[in-house]
Structure formats: structure tokens, C-alpha cells
Amino acid sequence: MKKSTLVPVILCGGSGTRLWPLSRVAYPKQFVEFQKGQTLFKSTLKRVAGLSNVGNPIVVCNKDHRFLAKRDLDDLSCHGSIIVEPVAKNTAPAIALAAFEAVKSDPDAVLLILPSDHSIEGRTAFVKAVEDSVLLAESSYLVTFGIRPTGPETGFGYIEKGDPISEGNFKVKRFVEKPVLAKAKEMLEDGGYYWNSGMFVFKASCYLDALKSFAPEIFDHCRKAMKNQTVANGFISPNSDAMGECPSNSIDYAVMEKTAKAAVLPLNVVWNDLGAWNAMHAVSEKDTDNNTQIGDALSISCVNCYIHSSSRLVSAIGMRDVAIVETSDAVLVAPLSRVQEVKNVVTKLKETNRTEAVLPPVVQRPWGTYESIAYGEHYQSKRIIVNPGGALSLQLHHRRSEHWTVVRGTAEITVGDKVVTCSANESVYIPAETVHRLVNRTHIPVVIIEVQCGDYLGEDDIVRIEDIYARS
């Protein structure tokens, strides 16, 4: 009997607003380096590497984050497919897109559905649970992993186990929404409930069959979207019209709560969904006073604190049970007991059109990065790094001029109908309404200082004429 290929499907659609200011709309938590060189997405990719009979992963993300996903895949030399959702429609459609993609090459493919932002300690137990879940999936079960509660948690959904299927595996009796504290305590004492991990294993064909039965509109629109997909620069783009009409729903509501083939498999690991700063504190290294200190941080007489510095010294005296998170453009201070409310800060920032809600201090682009280093009325200065082989789009601006000074490397710069080569300490002037581009054809990064002058300096004042990354 042919053993089914296990295809990891990694969902990268979250925004992580409760981990602001490190997590931003344009740079969500799964792609943030909370520790140097390590992102949550990379950790997820490493987690599935080496599983038995595992295939290349399928990553589902939105348009704005596709290059971040590719960056991390490339860093790990991981050959995966990236499906770019034209519009976010929750987990049921996202998984359907991956399922349609998987069955094209293997009709019997088994999918391992993983959020990209979880922390799991206990590799051996994880591998064993996945192997056991594949056996259930090959018997047409839709398997979810349950985490044994360690306390009366009100921030997670729960799963009540039903009749046993085999030793240690159970049918799902019911799903329970995030409970109030009294109900959470009751379920903890009962012992028959697990935290809903949001991780699943099932045959792609079985999921699609269930979706067709219980959510036919989602099935039809996702099938149409994948049938009419486009592929460019290695990204799979489902048809935007079909996805625009697709209902939005979670896999729990659309399928798992309706099917008679739902199974729960207990996962005996240390698990956390890293949804807020208290969760980050729980999984991070601590000192003798239970403080986590990351970056240039100094604490005196502090107890049970999470202190994260990104760009400067952060010092704290006599603090207890607080999170202090610093970036070059924002600082958060909040009791650990109230970090779920950080999302309210992001909401207020969006309401007032503050860029701190959306853009991180260092903005990632497919060609490299940029950061604002000075800003005032009618001017802005940026540090721009263009990676080897990277190229800015051929573009123009209506309302600003720019002055580029190369401080490292050698750049090929187009200004109007001229192409010049500039090295360190050389510069060019780009008037408004002038077509321009920078290309790095060398093997080292090019670093330039850009000075913008004009009556409007917003990022939307850009007209792309040509772009090797197929951005609009």
C-alpha cells in the first residue's frame, strides 16, 4: 500500500495586533525576529522538516506578505509553494485553496495544517502525534490536535472529547467557544476538555468533500479561483473575482462542527499560540526574578517583567508584572494582565491614520529594506539597502524630488534617459516627474541615503512603470 505524502500547509494570514509595536500590519508577528535570525514562520518550517514522508510545504499568505514568506523560505533553502490570497476569507477558504493545489500532484495527499505563529516544545511528542494522526486521516477522519489545559484559560476555544476511536484518540463531541472564567474552571475540573490548537490533519480530498457538503459556496468559489489561477515570479495567485465572492468562514464553523468524522488527538507538548506579550514572556528565557530581557535592557528590583529593546537602552526600576516593548518609533508599557488590550491601541492608531499601526521602523521590500532616519515638514531622509540582484521599480513621483547618495557598494542608477554607475560618496539628483531606478548588479548590498523634498511625501506618490517583482 502506497504511503500518503504528508503536505504541510502553513497559514500566514494573521496580523498579530496584540504584539504591537513589534508586530505591524505590514510586518506581522510571524515574520518578526523576536530572537536574532529566528522568526515564528521559520520555526514552523523547521518543525515539519524531517517528518516521515513529508512533501514540500504550501504556504498561504496575503499579497502584502508574499515576499516575507519567500524570504524565510529562501533563508532555509526550503522549496515550497506560496499561494497568495487576493482577499482574506478566514481559514476554511485558505485551507481549501491549499487542498486544491495539493490534489493536483497527489490525489491522496494528507495535509498537516499549521498556523505560522505557534510555539511548540517537545519534538518527539509532536512527531509521534503527527504520525498517529496520519493513520486516522487515512481512515477518512478530520483530525484536530487538542492541548491538555494547564489552567482555566479564557483566551482559547475548547474541544470536548467523545467516544474513543482507538487508544488515546477520540471523536469530537463538541467545540466550545472561548469561555468565561467560571466555565473555564468547570471544564478544567471535568478533565474531558482540551484547548483547541487550530492544527489539523486530514486527506485533502476528504476535506474538500466535507466542504462541498457543508459549505458548497466556499467549495465552488475556491475551485473556480484555483482553476483560473495565475503564476508569476513563483507565486500562485487564485482568481481575485472568484475569491472576492467567496464567503468568509473558519474551518471550525464551516466543517469541523458539522462533520461526523471529526476526531481529536491529544498533543502532549508545551504549546502556546503566542497571541500576546504575556505568552511571549511565558516561552522566553528568564532570570532569577522571572524577568525576560531582550536587547539592550537593564532592570533593577523588577519581578516578572518582559522587557524588549530594539534600538536603544531601556531601563526599568521596581516594576512588577509589566511588559515594556521598545522600537525606534514607539514604546509600549502595559501590565501583563492587560496585554490583550494592546489591540485597542492599534485600533486608535488606525483611526487617526498613524503610520505606527501599519509600517515597522524598518520596512521590508522584495529588493531590500528602507527606514526613515529624519522627518520634518516637506522633507524626509531614508536609509535604503538594496540586496545583491535587487532592483527598485522603474518609477516616478509627482510631488517630490529625491537626492541619492551612495554610502556603500556600487549602484546602477537610471535618471530619465541616462544610466550612470555610482559608488561610495557619489550622488545623483532626481527631479519630480522624472523616471528613475536603482539596480544592484553586484554581490554586496548597496546602501544609499535618500533625501526627499516636496509638499507630499507619502508612499502612495509612486507610479511604477516597470517592476521585476510584478507589483502594481
Query: Tens digit of pLDDT for each residue in 398-451?
Result: 999 999 999 999 999 999 999 999 999 999 999 999 999 999 999 999 999 999
| φ and ψ at residue 137, rounded to 5 degrees | -60, -35
Q: Give residue 238's pLDDT band: very low, low, confident or very high (50, 70, 90).
A: very high
User: Which grid cell is 195?
Assistant: 484547548
**Under 8 Å between Cβ of 403 and 429:** yes
**Under 8 Å between Cβ of 82 and 236:** yes
**Under 8 Å between Cβ of 112 and 8:** yes
Residue 155: the pLDDT is 82
The SS3 of residue 356 is helix
Residue 310: the pLDDT is 93
Tell which phi-psi region holds residue 86, choosing left (phi > 0), alpha (psi between -120 and 50) or beta: alpha
**Under 8 Å between Cβ of 165 and 179:** no
DSSP for residue 237: E
Position 104 pLDDT exceeds 60: yes
Position 166 pLDDT exceeds 90: no
Which CATH superfamily includes the segment(s) 366-466?
A: Jelly Rolls (2.60.120.10)
Q: Give, for 168, the enclosing helix (H) or strand (E).
A: none
Which CATH superfamily includes the segment(s) 6-272?
A: Spore Coat Polysaccharide Biosynthesis Protein SpsA; Chain A (3.90.550.10)
325-360 confidence digits (pLDDT tens): 999 999 999 999 999 999 999 999 999 999 999 999
The SS3 of residue 321 is coil
> Measured between alpha carbons, how far is 65 from 177 in angstroms, rounded to an integer?
30
**Under 8 Å between Cβ of 118 and 200:** no
Position 472 pLDDT exceeds 80: no
Q: Give, for 136, the enclosing helix (H) or strand (E).
A: helix 123-137
* Common-topology check for domains 6-272 and 366-466: no
Residue 2: the pLDDT is 58
Position 1 pLDDT exceeds 70: no
> Measured between alpha carbons, how far is 12 from 80 in angstroms, rounded to an integer?
14
- Write down the domain spans for the chain: 6-272, 277-345, 366-466
Position 362 pLDDT exceeds 80: yes
Answer with the residue of higher pLDDT: 387 or 50: 387
Residue 200: the pLDDT is 96
The pLDDT mean for the chain works out to 94
Position 154 pLDDT exceeds 90: no
> Measured between alpha carbons, how far is 135 from 427 in angstroms, rounded to an integer?
63
Query: Cis link prior to 21 (omega < 30° from 0)?
Result: yes
Helix axes 204-214, 91-105, angle to 10 degrees: 130
182-226 confidence digits (pLDDT tens): 999 999 999 899 999 999 999 999 999 999 999 999 999 999 999
Average pLDDT over residues 134-158: 92
